[in-house]
Structure 1
Amino acid sequence: MQMFVGTGVALVTPFKKDFSVDTEALKRIVNFTIEGGVEYLVVLGTTAESATLTKEEKEVVIETIKTANAGRLPLVLGVGGNNTMDVVDELQTRDFTGFSAILSVSPYYNKPTQEGIYQHFKKIAEASPLPIILYNVPGRTASNMLPATVVRLAKDFKNVIAIKEAAGDIVQAMKLIQHAPKDFLVISGDDMITLPMVLAGGAGVISVIGEGFPKEFSEMVRLGLQRKVNEAYELHYKLADSIDMIFEQGNPAGIKEVFKSRGLSENTVRLPLVNVDENLAKRLDDFTKNIS
């Protein structure tokens, strides 16, 4: 699945000031990221504030992105949850036309055992018409999908092709790279340690900062994959402060401030999220306008 080597971006859902979905802004963002050189787009992930979108709004987001993309890049759809049979039902009933894979998060809140996580994804693998990218993000799910569980899934199901690994643990990532099947992709879910993961053998990233600064971040990843270490780290350190800033007061409030600075969308987020404060907004605006 070489189409998922490089930089994928987890697209935001831009809102107007009245909190309705801003489809025109979403089209602008899609075009901006594609023109910036990213390799694929992720639709309705956590960064899209999918937890606060209605079913109807999700369909609007999907169709808007598909139209704006116009077949230029592979699309990945977020399909996950903590009710296994609901996820299975969606996999069996949704029209996946235009998508190349799904991204499915490890069950949150329930705090399943490793066996429970395995059985959850076993059901998903058996039901999914598309390849599956697992998503491990303990900071949001309250449980860590351990390398042994990931490797077991990768070996048992050919359609489990990759993991977005966002535990923030480079040692855990290296264990995944070491023990997973050769063609299994270990994709960074942490922007700050993307380059070390790539240099350790990772396949790239599904990024947030990559949609705000797609040209610089996607080039960093490509340089890392080419083992041009010094050039890659030069870009990493150029962007490092912005990575800290966009997550400082929550995602996607930070990245939406970057888009506001770029004139691509409003910075509106839906409760329970709130906008970043004036100090952080100014720092993000200054960084965005001064990067060159």
Structure 2
Amino acid sequence: MKRLSGVTVAALTPLSKDGTLVDNQAIKEYVDFLVEKGVHGIFVLGTTGEGLLLTLEERKKALESFVKAVQKRVTLIAHCGALRVEEVSELLVHAKAVGADGAAIVSPFYYKYRPQEIVEFFLQTSKRVDGLPIYLYNIPGLTGNWITPKIAEEIHKRNPNFVGIKDSSGDLLHILSLINDSPADFDVVVGCDRAFLTVLQMGAKGCVSGPAAVFPEFFVKLYTQFTSGDIAGAKETQKKLTKLSLALGDGASIPMLKMALSWRGVKTGSCRSPLRFLEKDEAEKFKDSLTKVLTEVGLSF
């Protein structure tokens, strides 16, 4: 059973120039780019991957393309979250059938749910798959619903296929509670770039990062330094990583991430409507500011 650890990138999804089609041919080039940079895992079709803007069939086909491109070189996690239980279940069955190493499910969103309703959502969606590692995905800033340590523990207890949680809350006390209060066999990975080293020291298994899907270098370097005991070096790398992440909008803007990746020579296409690229003058300012930061930290496009 493959589990997430180290540097997992929240992959972008290459689309056509007008954003209306998934560019399945471009996925291999992108995956090769990430693997060559030394990442340990790829988290596909999540927030950064515009998964919730794609149809179910587009998501299935894109996942198949990612699985084929990865060829078991790194851990591949398929995000299968959706608003309806039936759709999540369908995506989970497909993910297992096509060879994903595991799956993730974002908490139910839009409506405000009580804790027990959140628990039941995850248990119901996973009824049709067995033996597939599944990660809870906590991003309350977008969903409006928190996955608390108590909720996570109950889900894991009732279905051990839930092996961990990806937390993108940015709340260090909440993350610490997840790490300290969860069972020993329940992993925590974090989507908070500015606290990457901190959460590793707290006991997290690794990160799942949008900016790392564009510039993986410092993430991989920091993790290598941390695991080798070079904490002083990791602290310096964290400073550079933080500068770069902030220059990329902290990963919150998919258009910015895609534009930066295209400047690295990786084909990205456009975004799915209503997302759209920056206007020409905005794009020029963004590229200038990003170039300055890259020079400061010792990287280039």
Same fold (TM over 0.5): yes
d(CA) in 2 for partners of 1:92, 1:216? 35
Instruction: Give the aligned partner of residue 104 of structure 2.
Output: 103
What is the CA distance between 1:93 and its match in structure 2? 5.8
| Contact preservation (8 Å) 2:211, 2:250 | no
Partner of residue 289 from structure 2, selected from 260, 283, 286: 283
* 1:115 paired residue number: 116
Structure 1 residue 48: Cα displacement: 1.1
Q: What letter matches 1:82 in structure 2?
A: L
Q: Specify which of 170, 173, 187 is matched with residue 171 of structure 1.
A: 173
Q: Tell whether the 8 Å contact from 2:11 to 2:42 is kept in structure 1 after alignment.
A: yes
What's the offset of the Cα at 1:245? 2.5
Q: Any conservation in 1 of the 2:247–2:293 contact (CA below 8 Å)?
A: no
Output the amino acid matched with 2:18. Answer: D
Aligned length: 292
- Mark the CA change 1:261 to 1:131 in structure 2 (over 3 Å): closer, same or farther: same
Of 132-141 and 234-243, more deviation after overlay is shown by 234-243
Deviation at 1:145?
A: 1.4
SS of equivalent to 1:154:
helix
Deviates more, 1:36-45 or 1:207-216: 207-216
- Name the CA distance, whole Å, in 2 between partners of 1:261 and 1:49: 20
CA offsets 1:90-149 (integer angstroms, 9 cap, x no match): 434665332111011001101211111111112234333311100000011012111211
Q: For residue 185 of structure 1, report the CA deviation from its aligned partner.
A: 0.7
Supply the AA of the counterpart residue of 1:282. D
Q: What is aligned with 1:202?
A: 204
Query: Which of 236, 240, 259 does residue 234 from structure 1 map onto?
Result: 236
Task: Between 52-61 and 7-16, report the one with greater CA deviation.
Answer: 52-61
Contact 2:270 2:277 in 1 (8 A): yes
Residue 192 of structure 1: aligned partner: 194
Q: Kindly tell me: are residues 68 and 285 of structure 1, through their superposed partners in 2, closer, same or farther at Cα, counting changes over 3 Å? A: farther
Which secondary structure state, in structure 1, belongs to the residue aligned with residue 78 of structure 2?
strand
76-85 or 102-111, which deviates more: 76-85
SS in 1 for 2:127: helix
* Equivalent residue, structure 1, for 2:82: 81
Q: How does 1:17-28 map to 2 (within 5 A)?
A: 17-19=17-19, 20-28=21-29
Q: Output the TM-score relative to the length of structure 2.
A: 0.88
Among all aligned residue pairs of Structure 1 and Structure 2, give the percentage whose two residues are the same amino acid. 29
1:152 maps to which residue? 154
Unaligned ranges ≥5, structure 1: none
Structure 2: which amino acid aligns with 1:27? K
| Residue equivalent to 1:219 | 221
For structure 2, which runs of at least 5 residues remain unmatched after alignment?
Answer: none
Indicate yes or no: 2:32 matched with 1:34: no
